[in-house]
Amino acid sequence: MRKKSISIIVCMLFIIAALIPVSGKLTIEAPDDEYHQSTTIQGWITLPEPIPVDMILEESICRRMSFHNGYPATPVTDEDLSTVLWAAYGVTPNGGRTVYSPNGSYSTTIYVIRSEATYVYVPANHSLFLWKTGNYLSLGQNTGAPIKIGLVWNMSIAGDEKAGMAEIGMIAQNIYFDANALDLATLTTGLNVNDLYQLDLPSNEKPEIIMHLGHPPTPYSFTYNPLPQSNLPRVVNNTLSLAEAVNTRQIATEWNNSKLTLLEHSQILWASYGTSYLYDHINNKRHRTVPSAIAIYPFKIYMVNETGVYSYTPTTHSLSLLVSGDKRELIQDAVDPGNISVASAPLIIIPFWDKNLGGQSMIGWWYYESGAIVHNILLEATALNLGGNVLSVITDQNGLRAALGLSAQTNLVCLHVTLVGHTGGGTQNNPPTDPILTGPSTGQRGIPYNYTIVSTDPDGDDLSYFVDWDDGTNSGWVGPSTSGTMMTLNHTWSQPGTYTIRGKARDTQSLENKWTSLEMTIEGPRLELNIKGGLGVKATIDNTGTADATNITWEITFEGGFIIPHKKTGTIDEIPVGKQSTIRPFVLGIGNTTITMSLKTDDGVSAEKKVHAFFLMFLVIGVK
């Protein structure tokens, strides 16, 4: 028996030697022409029309994440690059810009580094202008990304570098949002940023950050995992897409007397510095709504309205009262308000940089992060049909801290003050009343169920309705119809589970009411898969549904490497509700492998899981 085992090991070692190239290099073929419609080096390249990114704004914020290395050689299409660059710094249909500069001085130059040359992005005609020929992708951190984006401060346009870095923070957020929504990967880094001087930058330009753009080494893998209950409502998706939010951002200088709802407070605070409601299975964590320069988050977020001053805790998505009473006049006295009415703003969000948490030598990076915070607030305010504005000149830090009850905390430094509220004057348009949503609360898969929704408008406006079915689909806006007219919609769910149905109404002036929700439980088994490595492959199946799963057929396949056998199948008689079944198929091999497991019950319930791993005989490592 011992001799037989030794023979197997020796055989496997020969297989390893045969599979590993002597040079240790991998030959990559040239990309297809469809990816390179503009690789000819010329003076100007007119970019294609940007792709309308229809991902809901809140979902795109949740998907914001960085990929630090291992970008595959797959090129980025011109359409995708065009979309990312437009989102970064482009011109909107109304003549505005995709990011907001409080002083109107757009001081960033964007260099696009590709394998054949480096270009300057020109927002005015959405094109690339040839800057320098040659391959400079080696500049900065080496991630393998096929495109690098150099964000450079033009000191002749804006003399304050900190303001320039805040603008770059806004630009980077849009690059994150659009890249991730397009299933691309990106990263912000200041490592070796001075390498950009090798591009022969003008003397009035200073490199600030390099962003990397490519495809993710591992496909995105998110699942909805709601934030825990707190004294703030859970974060919900509105109806505005990422592209719509960027295009229709509302900048206001004065506000009407309409108060914000608690849900609106919750959404704005979450967007500013909160935690994603999507769980990332690649990195096994939730991401934050803004990036961190050095893996720390040194800002503290304070909220002010007419009732007092509150401290926001991102990890629990909750508020705590610090000081009672209206402090908005005191805040106005501590800033340079310009033509903005600070004292009447219904909601003021103030991010304070904590010097004890973030090194003062990195002050530029903290302006970058503060810029990302206020950018998120402005976009989320737009999704809520609210206006916003930003103040960047704080004239009295001590007075501002005193107004918020923070006099003793001299380690806190305010970089920006953000204002949010309802806008407009004269005759006030009122939102529709909260809708009444009715329908069944339990049902079966594959059967259509009717739901009714109705609302009335105080101004007599016609109404349209929108219903989110919580399974990745929605009704879209249906209507308009006369105020008070009941609308009937139906929906069919394909998988068991408990779904939170949400409905809202919108009047003809685009003013919406709050979501109304009700739960629908689709009965049946619900199977969730998990695959782990170690000594062999271990697959677990959990029944998280409301009924026992019976007659389950499973299949595991192995693609890539040298795996014996390349497929295993089997059956499981039953997995009761709340129970788990474990499968340990006997396989061995060598090399990088994609493991795919699928299963199906006799009544059509199915599930699939795909992971990547490395086999070294019986040992399975690097499962992700």
Same domain, 269 and 392: yes
Same domain, 564 and 503: no
Tens digit of each residue's pLDDT (9 = 90 or more) over 75-131: 999 999 999 999 999 998 877 899 998 777 789 999 999 999 999 999 988 999 999
**Predicted local confidence at residue 424, as pLDDT:** 66
Same domain, 467 and 549: no
Same domain, 354 and 254: yes
- What the block records as the tokens of 245 is 């939010």
CA distance 71 to 371: 27
Same domain, 496 and 368: no
**Predicted local confidence at residue 318, as pLDDT:** 96
Same domain, 502 and 549: no
**Predicted local confidence at residue 5, as pLDDT:** 40
Confidence of residue 604 (pLDDT cuts 50, 70, 90): confident
Between residues 30 and 84, which one has the greater pLDDT? Answer: 84
CA distance 247 to 382: 10
Between residues 370 and 41, which one has the greater pLDDT? Answer: 370
| Burial class of residue 535 in the structure, from the number of CB atoms within 10 Å of its CB (0-12 exposed, 13-18 middle, 19+ buried) | exposed
Confidence of residue 198 (pLDDT cuts 50, 70, 90): very high
**What average pLDDT score do residues 35-44 get?**
48
- Dihedral sign for Cα atoms in the order 75, 175, 211, 67: negative
% residues pLDDT > 70 (the chain): 91
Same domain, 368 and 339: yes
**Predicted local confidence at residue 39, as pLDDT:** 39
- Dihedral sign for Cα atoms in the order 78, 82, 83, 87: positive
- Sheet of 442-443, strand order: 442-443, 516-522, 497-507, 463-468, 478-481
**Predicted local confidence at residue 24, as pLDDT:** 27
Under a CB-based contact definition with an 8 Å cutoff, are residues 242 and 60 in contact? yes
**Predicted local confidence at residue 289, as pLDDT:** 96
Domain range for 607 is 527-621
pLDDT over 60 at 3, yes or no: no
Tens digit of each residue's pLDDT (9 = 90 or more) over 572-586: 988 898 899 999 998
Same domain, 543 and 518: no
Q: Please state the pTM of the whole predicted model.
A: 0.65
Q: With both helix axes pointing from N to C terminus, report the angle between 262-273 and 363-383 in degrees, rounded to the nearest 10.
A: 150
Same domain, 183 and 128: yes
Confidence of residue 338 (pLDDT cuts 50, 70, 90): confident
**What average pLDDT score do residues 250-265 get?**
90
In the chain, how many domains are there? 4
**Predicted local confidence at residue 623, as pLDDT:** 87
Residues 81, 85, 87, 89, Cα dihedral to 10°: 180
**Predicted local confidence at residue 177, as pLDDT:** 96
> Is the backbone peptide bond immediately before 219 cis, with ω within 30 degrees of 0?
no
Asked if residue 23 belongs to a domain, the reply is no
Asked if residue 6 belongs to a domain, the reply is no
| Burial class of residue 550 in the structure, from the number of CB atoms within 10 Å of its CB (0-12 exposed, 13-18 middle, 19+ buried) | middle
Question: 40 CB contacts (<8 Å, ≥6 apart)?
Answer: none
Of 193, 214, 235, the position where a domain reaches its end is 214
Asked if residue 20 belongs to a domain, the reply is no
Question: Containing H/E element for 354?
Answer: strand 347-354
Lowest-confidence pick of 73-77, 207-211, 470-474 = 470-474
pLDDT over 50 at 422, yes or no: yes
Any idea what the CATH number is for the domain that residue 191 is in?
A: 3.40.109.10
Same domain, 159 and 233: no
Lowest-confidence pick of 25-29, 325-329, 498-502, 617-621 = 25-29
The number of C-alpha atoms within 13 Å of 229 and in the hemisphere containing its C-beta is 0
Three-state SS string over 491-522 comes to: ECCCCCEEEEEEEEEEECCCCECCCEEEEEEE
Same domain, 276 and 207: no
Between residues 457 and 47, which one has the greater pLDDT? Answer: 47
